[in-house]
Amino acid sequence: MVIELSTLGGDLEVARMMGEDVRFASETEPQRRFVFLGKAAIYSAGTTFMSFFMRENRYLSRGTRLMIHERKLAKKLVIDGPLTTCLATVQATLNEIECSIAIQNEGFQNLVLGSSVGLDEVLKRAPSNWYLEAQEAKNLGLIEAVL
Mean pLDDT value across the chain = 96
Per-residue confidence band for 112, with pLDDT thresholds at 50, 70 and 90: very high
Q: How does pLDDT run across 124-136, given as a tens digit for each residue?
A: 999 999 999 999 9
Length of the chain (residues) = 147
Between CA 80 and CA 82 the distance in angstroms is 7
Between CA 61 and CA 31 the distance in angstroms is 25
- Report in angstroms the alpha-carbon separations of 11 from 61, 74, 144: 23, 14, 25
Between CA 68 and CA 63 the distance in angstroms is 16
Please give the helix or strand (H or E) that residue 120 lies within, else none. Answer: helix 119-125
Q: What is the pLDDT of residue 131?
A: 98
Per-residue confidence band for 59, with pLDDT thresholds at 50, 70 and 90: very high
Q: What is the pLDDT of residue 121?
A: 97
Parse the chain into domains and list their residue ranges: 2-146
Q: Which among 65, 42, 68 has a CA at the least distance from the CA of 127?
A: 68
As a whole number, mean pLDDT of residues 129-147 equals 98
Q: What is the pLDDT of residue 99?
A: 96
CA neighbours within 13 Å on the CB side: how many for 40? 6
Say what the pTM is: 0.90
Query: Which homologous superfamily does the CATH classification assign to the domain defined by 2-146?
Result: 2-enoyl-CoA Hydratase; Chain A, domain 1 (3.90.226.10)
Q: What is the pLDDT of residue 1?
A: 94
